[in-house]
């Protein structure tokens, strides 16, 4: 763990999977909003530390911390690191996820384990830790996917994992409501990111883009903006919801 700090922020956020493009955008946006940010990574150490340094260069506060969210002990250590550095945790963004393109018929046990371990088990670990460690009036934002609403071919296992995330979101929202903690999910549509481009041909990318009502892909900053809203006091009465950030695609 490396600390990059200028000033002590009043609130702290953990963003999992923040070495990827969506997580990086969320971490940067929350730092701009005045939160101290724990930039989590399982892999992609250089990108995570780069993001933390960018936050500091912009006047914010961050630590970069490695943890595999699929491992309960490592996730717990991530919370401990945040509490040691900043005194507590107010916001958890369960962004880490794994996607593999393929049919149900061709899916392997390894595919299942890879997708569910991070996307579903990791979210469960985060919610469980949030219940015991998040300060009152905290915020949890889970990442789902619009592919679930659109029933996108080739993403059966991924959609199943995200369906579980959405169910966990609704249940946790009710359980944590007495403490003023809100729990919501964001379901991005087609976003211009490495995860979207991976395994697709230029023709497939063009077809998805042209078929979109807006005629374009979304941006990672547009996802980060919705996270930013959900963690503010203006969103006190929004909980247990799945917000499909997709430009009207589904």
Rounded Cα distance, 176 and 184, in Å: 12
**What are the backbone angles phi and psi of residue 40, rounded to the nearest 5°?**
-85, 150
**Dihedral sign for Cα atoms in the order 74, 77, 82, 83:** positive
Rounded Cα distance, 166 and 10, in Å: 29
Catalytic residue among 4, 41, 112, 158: 158
Rounded Cα distance, 144 and 199, in Å: 20
Rounded Cα distance, 8 and 233, in Å: 20
- Check if 41 is active-site: no
Contact 40, 15 (CB under 8 A): yes
Give the position of tokens 């990574």.
Answer: 41
Rounded Cα distance, 114 and 110, in Å: 6
**What are the backbone angles phi and psi of residue 217, rounded to the nearest 5°?**
-90, 155
Catalytically active residues, by annotation: 158
């Amino acid at each position: 763990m490396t600390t990059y700090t200028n000033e002590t922020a009043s609130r702290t956020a953990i963003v999992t999977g923040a070495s990827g493009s969506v997580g990086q955008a969320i971490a940067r946006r929350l730092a701009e909003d005045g939160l101290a940010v724990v930039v989590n990574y399982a892999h992609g150490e250089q990108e995570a530390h780069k993001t933390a340094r960018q936050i500091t260069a912009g006047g914010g506060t961050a630590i970069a911390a490695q943890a595999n969210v699929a491992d309960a002990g490592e996730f717990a250590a991530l919370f401990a690191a945040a509490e040691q550095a900043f005194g507590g945790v107010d916001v958890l963004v369960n962004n880490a996820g794994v996607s593999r393109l393929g049919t149900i018929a061709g899916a392997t046990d390894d595919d299942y384990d890879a997708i569910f371990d991070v996307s579903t088990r990791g979210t469960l670990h985060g919610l469980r830790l949030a219940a015991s460690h998040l300060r009152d009036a905290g915020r949890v934002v889970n990442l789902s996917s619009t592919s679930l609403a659109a029933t996108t071919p080739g993403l059966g296992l991924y959609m199943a994992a995200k369906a579980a995330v959405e169910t966990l979101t609704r249940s946790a929202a009710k359980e944590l409501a007495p403490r003023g903690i809100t729990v919501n999910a964001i379901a991005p549509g087609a976003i211009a990111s490495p995860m979207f481009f991976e395994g697709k041909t230029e023709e497939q990318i063009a077809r998805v883009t042209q078929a979109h009502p807006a005629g374009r892909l979304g941006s990672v900053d547009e996802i980060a903006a919705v996270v930013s809203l959900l963690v503010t006091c203006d969103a006190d009465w929004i909980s247990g919801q799945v917000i499909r950030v997709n430009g009207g695609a589904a």
